[in-house]
Amino acid sequence: MSDFDLARQQMVDCQIRPSDITDRRLLGAFETVPRHVFTPRSKLATAYADGEVATSETRRMMRPRDMSKLIQAADIQADEMVLDIACGRGYSTAILAKLAETVVGLDDDEDGQGRASDLLSECGADNAVVIAGDPKSGKADQGPYNVIFVNGAVEEVPQAWFDQLADGGRLAVVVRKGPVGKATIFTRSAAGIGEKVVFDASTSTIPGFERAATFSL
């Protein structure tokens, strides 16, 4: 077992399992997808640490604990289609590909776009693709989606994401309106959009997803 393999298993055993992650498919995904492959060379020492890892100036891989809890809360089924928002180099896309039938990664981060396809191929994620596009707009022509997963916190949720959910579809995102983010599952039904906060998270806000400043006299 390599040092990276050992570090990955320790990440699962010490960070993810103790966070009430019981989905065996999800645990297996984190055990087999090599997080360090998606990590910049300068950050390799922290690839499996208990924290976020910057992959470019605008993108971060979520803390393993937060990412695993949010994915588990989305309850992804094997026959479902997932949109992976702000996917960066594609680590989350590779994890989601172990759970869903099809995964579409979406980002406008040039560094991630240039690497994601090769990295996904290296990991055997043949049911996943990363495409260029504005994360705020989603990708309506590929939807509707059973699950939309967001890699980071937002201060406001774009209406476009709700519009691209299938009936019964879930949007998994950390909503940040103060110092602590709220990991939230939004569910679309005939009655409208339901909302459930599942845990607190210190996830960083995705650049460009800050709430517009307001001024008052």
The tens digit of pLDDT for each residue in 57-92 reads: 999 999 999 999 999 999 999 999 999 999 999 999
The reported pTM is 0.94
Residue 215 confidence (pLDDT) above 70: no
Average model confidence (pLDDT) across the chain: 94
Positive or negative torsion for Cα 34, 136, 103, 202: positive
% of the chain beyond a pLDDT of 90: 90
User: Contact, 137 vs 115, CB < 8 A?
Assistant: no
CA distance 58 to 74: 25
CA 211 from centroid of its chain's CA atoms: 20
* Rounded Cα gap, residues 118 and 180, in angstroms: 35
**What pLDDT is recorded for position 177?**
86
Tell me the pLDDT band of 156, cut-offs 50, 70 and 90: very high
- Taking only the tens place, the pLDDT of each residue in 127-142 is 999 999 999 999 999 9
213: pLDDT confidence band, cut at 50, 70 and 90? Answer: low
pLDDT beyond 90 at 112: no
159 alpha-carbon distance from chain centroid = 18
Tokens standing for 15?
A: 């960070």
Enumerate domains of the chain plus CATH numbers: 3-201 (3.40.50.150)
Which CA distances in Å does 83 have to 9, 133, 183?
27, 12, 17
- pLDDT, average across residues 44-55: 96
Phi, psi torsion values for 189, nearest 5 degrees: -145, 180
